[in-house]
Amino acid sequence: MAEVPREIWVECRVPHSHIYFVRYTLDAYDGLCLASTVEDPSGRVRLLSTEDRAEELDRVLEALAEEVPLRVVGRGTLGPGGTA
């Protein structure tokens, strides 16, 4: 039986005017991550992915940061049941 990769999270800050661009760009990478906005005025976007896609996600975020003001402000792994 194949081992299930651990889930990770990455939190970014993006100006509100660029959130849709970032989310739709990430959605174009099939299965890379699930992006959701955090409901507050800070422009936080939380990304959920798996450890086996972490390097690819980092490369995509670096490329996006060259296009829009995006910065990673936190990251970690999720425990059982999706807890950070």
pLDDT-derived band at 80, boundaries 50, 70, 90: low
Question: Which residues have CB under 8 Å from 3's CB, separation 6+?
Answer: none
Provide the pLDDT for residue 75.
Answer: 96
Provide the pLDDT for residue 67.
Answer: 95
Q: Write the pLDDT tens digit of every residue in 34-79.
A: 999 887 777 899 999 999 999 999 999 999 999 999 999 999 998 7
- Residue 23, number of CB atoms within 10 A of its CB: 17
Q: Write the pLDDT tens digit of every residue in 17-46.
A: 999 999 999 999 999 999 998 877 778 999
The first and second tokens of residue 64, run together, are 């996006």
